[in-house]
Each structure stands twice: as C-alpha cells, then as structure tokens.
Amino acid sequence: MVTIGSAMSSEKAVSRSRAVPSSRLARMGRMGGLATGLAGGVAVGGARALVRGERPRLDKLLLTPGNLTRVADKLADMRGAAMKMGQLLSMETGDMLPPELADILARLRQDAHFMPPKQLKTVLETAYGAQFRRKFRGFDTTPLAAASIGQVHRATAADGQSLAIKLQYPGVRDAIDSDLDNVAALIRWSGLMPEGLDMGPLLAEARRQLHEEADYDREGYYLARFRALLTDDDRFAVPAHRPDLSGPDALAMSFEAAEPIETLAHAPKPMRDHVISALIELTLRELFEFRLMQTDPNFANYRWRPETGQVVLLDFGASREISAEVAEGHRDLMIAGVHRDRNATMTALERLNFIKPDLADHHRDTILDMAEIGFDSMSAPFEFEGNDLADKMRRRGMEIGTERELWHIPPAETLFLQRKMGGLYLLGTRIGARVDLPALMSRYM
C-alpha cells in the first residue's frame, strides 16, 4: 500500500498551499476582481489627490505599493499563463518598466504556492486513475518545488525506483489563451507598459511558450534527447524519463539527488569556476552543435553534487530547436564583436533583428556602444565577482529605454537566447566564478 507522507510540518504546508482556480469562469472572476480592486484603489487615490488640490495622474495612482502588490499576488495565485506573463514582463522588459513594477513582478520568478491536499488528490486521480496508489510505494504530498505550470513531488515507484513527478495544475492548459488575453487587457488598461511598446510579439511568444511547457509529452521527448546528447559528458546528469508513469498531466523521471545551485557559492573557488565554465560551454554547444537549447535560465533548473562537481539539469519544457540562420548569425556577431568590427557587428545585429531597420546613425551608435561594453568582457578571462558589467549595461539600457525609436522586442529565438545568456551571467555573479571566455568561444569561431 502506498505511503502518503510529507517532509514539511502541517502548519507550514497549509500556509504555503493555495488552490488553483481550475475553471475558465473562476479564472476570469479572479481577473475581474483584480481589475475592480485596482479601480477602487485608483478612485480612492484620486479622491485624496483632489482633496490635496492636486491633479490625479493615472500612472501615479496605479503605481502604489498596494496596487502593485495586488497585481503580483493575484497573478501568483492564478499561476499558469497569468504568472508566466508576469515573469516574462519582468525579465524581458525590466529596464523599460517603472522600478516599482519591475520589483513587484520579480517576485513572480520565485516559487508559487502549491495545491492543497484535496486538489492534489484530484490531480493524481486524473493523471493515474482512482487506483493511483497502486503505482507507487510512497508519495510525498509536499512538493519539492512549485512554479507557474505545475509542481514537483518526490515519489517511489511500485518497482522501487526513486522518482520526481511533475504534476500540472488543473485547468492551466485549457485557460492559457483566455488568461493571456485577460492579462494583456489589464496591462493595457492600466497603462503600466511604456506607450508605444508593441506587446504583440511578447504575447505571441508567451502563448507559444506556455502551450509548449504545458505539453508534458513534448517535455518528456526533450528530456530524453538531452540525456542522450550528454550521456558521454560526465560533468552533467540528466534524469531518465519514465514514460510508463507519464501522460498529459504528469511527467515522471528518475530522482537525482543534488544541492541547490546557489549553495555552490560556498564551494572552493576552483569548483565554482569549473561548474560555471561547464554551464557556459554547454550553452555554446546547445547553440552551435546541438542546435537545441533549454532556454529557461531559472536557477532552480540547475543543481549540483558537491562531491563531484557534477551539474544536474532539470526542466526541459522550454527547450527550443535553433535554426541554422540564428546559430550562424550569433557566430557572426560573436566574431565581429571580439574583433571590434562595428560595421560587421551592426550587420549581424540587423540580420538577427535585434534592432529596428532604418535607425538613425546616432541611435545605431548608441546600440553599438552598448554592444561593445558586453564584448569588452570577452577579451580576457572574466571574473564575475565584483564586476560592474551588469550596472554598466543596466544604465545604458535605461538610457535606451528613454528613446522610443529604440524600443524593440527581438524575434522569439533571439529573445530566448538572450534570456539564457543573461541568466547564466546572473548565476556566475551569484556564485562568484572566473571563466576563460576567450578559450570557450574560440572553439566556435
């Protein structure tokens, strides 16, 4: 008989659990309630401004701590497309958002609430049938992690294998399109996004990404592909897929014991350098050799084993095939940047559609100056700890954000490559590693 257990105290588990609204009507109701709450906050704030003899401004009334907290909490409660849209907005347009909004949306990149026991039981019955207990010797009801699409549980299969099982939140897959439409309408109504920034490409990409991440058969396929691609590289471990215990609402894989990647920061310097170098080299292999990349740089997708330095790779729902055109375009960009060839750099940026066509010369110079800041870091072994590259890039990005002619969201492939590389930079900075970037890049130039 299966043992249902929990590693977390019942009091703490209850405080972190919250039911996911599973029907479209319930999810629309949550969004409607959020809009009503925001409108009420605006009305009260506007009345107070009038009493003070001030002319109310909609953007100032919306960008209050109360309203921003209300937005972030509601999106986190809904999970699914609503939470993912907040994540994308905070990561892809952060330099153009008001700081208050960027800070609040950044909270959506943290762990979500998880399902309460009753809802979890319903999900297990949907995935495995009413007799789901017969498939397991044990199942920990408190998840290892909870995110926007689903949550992960530790379990032991009937045959004794230790497993990690990802369970999808109920109703999330069917509500993706309506959720995105509702969130986009709310954002447009609120005026929180910069006027003139075309959200269309971002919405289309969020829609595609969410449908792909909600397809657990697809993720199982890429999990197996990455395991095969890296089978001879002992620096990495990829879980083994269990298709017999997987389906539309559940993805089962071998459990791989490891520590959170953030704990690497306390390891000896050579170990830190080894792990971050391995991850950067893997990204280059994904781009130029595999033409297949896991594009989500969330720290939770990487774990490590202190005794060996081996990195455990997790979560392949955001895996993307890389076209030859995009791969070669980035190779050209890398070569041009390393050789400080501004004309070739601009040609490569245009080819990749990083920038709008027909930009004025002074705007092109602004973009090239920012690119050179990044390429300067690649001319010698790079010390992440204490480096001010991020501050320089952020300041330049905020300057660009004030120029409406430069507002542009690149194509999906380029956008997610950029996100992956940016995520690795943040990880290297958090860990405090030193990486010989010229040596790694030279293999692909």
Q: For residue 340, what are the CA distances in angstroms to 134, 169, 376, 389, 414?
A: 63, 49, 9, 18, 21
Domain range summary for the chain, segments of one domain joined by +: 18-109+174-196, 258-445
Amino acid at 265: A
Distance CA 440, CA 380 (A): 11
Q: What is the pLDDT at residue 26?
A: 52
Catalytic residue among 296, 369, 376, 388: 296
Confirm whether 179 is a catalytic residue: no
Distance CA 132, CA 110 (A): 30
Place of tokens 């455990």: 312
Question: pLDDT tens digits for 80-97?
Answer: 555 565 555 554 444 444
Q: For residue 104, what are the CA distances in angstroms to 73, 78, 200, 425?
A: 9, 16, 23, 22
Question: pLDDT tens digits for 248-275?
Answer: 999 999 999 999 999 999 999 999 999 9
Look at 43-47, 134-138, 253-257, 358-362 and tell me which has the smallest mean pLDDT.
43-47
Query: What are the φ and ψ backbone dihedral angles of 169, each rounded to 5 degrees?
Result: -65, 140
**Please, what is the average pLDDT of the chain?**
76
pLDDT of 322 above 80: yes
Question: pLDDT tens digits for 332-353?
Answer: 999 998 889 999 998 888 888 7
User: Residue 49: pLDDT band by 50, 70, 90 thresholds?
Assistant: very low
* Contact of 445 with 331, CB cutoff 8 Å: yes
Percent of the chain exceeding pLDDT 70 equals 63
Q: What is the pLDDT at residue 412?
A: 67
Look at 24-38, 179-193, 360-374 and tell me which has the smallest mean pLDDT.
24-38
Q: What is the pLDDT at residue 349?
A: 87
Q: For residue 435, what are the CA distances in angstroms to 91, 237, 285, 379, 393?
A: 24, 21, 16, 11, 19
Q: What is the pLDDT at residue 51?
A: 39
pLDDT of 131 above 90: yes
Percent of the chain exceeding pLDDT 90 equals 40
* Contact of 220 with 66, CB cutoff 8 Å: no
Q: What is the pLDDT at residue 55?
A: 41
Nearest 10 degrees: Cα torsion 271, 275, 281, 286: 160
Annotate 212-237 with b (16+ C-beta within 10 A) or e (fewer). Answer: ebbbbebbbebbbbbbebbeeeebbb
Neighbours of 4 (CB within 10 A): 15
Name which residue leads in pLDDT, 401 or 112: 112
pLDDT of 354 above 80: no
